[in-house]
Every structure is written in structure tokens, then in C-alpha cells.
Amino acid sequence: MSIDMISKDYPYLLTREQASSFLGVDPKSFDKYIRPHRELDRFMIGRHERYTMKSLIEFIEKHSV
């Protein structure tokens, strides 16, 4: 399945809840294991972090074991 097909279900900039749903993890797990990494690209809107699907996929692929 391509990212274009997946992206129809999500906006371009994802909230924390949308990002965790996209990755299939609980928001608390996202906060604990993924969000703290400096290597995860994020876009700030005021004090709110937003993520793109591309940055999430790249981060997961880079840190896969």
C-alpha cells in the first residue's frame, strides 16, 4: 500500500493522537518512546507539535532493528 493511499485518511500535519494512530501505538507509548527523539522531524504551530507521515515513516525505518 502506498503512502498516497494512506494519506487520504489523514491531514498533512498530524497531531500527536493522529501520529500515534497512524503508527498503530498508544498515544502514551508515542510520548514515551518516539516523541522525545531529536531525530524525529516536527513542525511547530505555536506550542503545538505536528508531524508528517513521511517524517514518521523515515524515523521508524531508520530506527528499526
Cα 18 to Cα 2, 13, 65, distances in angstroms: 18, 9, 24
The contacts of residue 26 (CB under 8 Å, 6+ apart) are 20
Reported as a single tens digit per residue, the pLDDT across 49-62 is: 999 999 999 999 99
Reported as a single tens digit per residue, the pLDDT across 3-17 is: 665 667 899 999 999
pLDDT score, position 3: 62
Reported as a single tens digit per residue, the pLDDT across 16-28 is: 999 999 999 999 9
Q: Where are the beta strands (DSSP E) in the chain?
A: 43-45, 48-50
Predicted TM-score (pTM) of the model is: 0.83
3-state helix, strand, coil in the chain (%, to 5): 50, 10, 40
User: Where in the chain are the domains?
Assistant: 3-62
Average pLDDT of every residue of the chain: 91
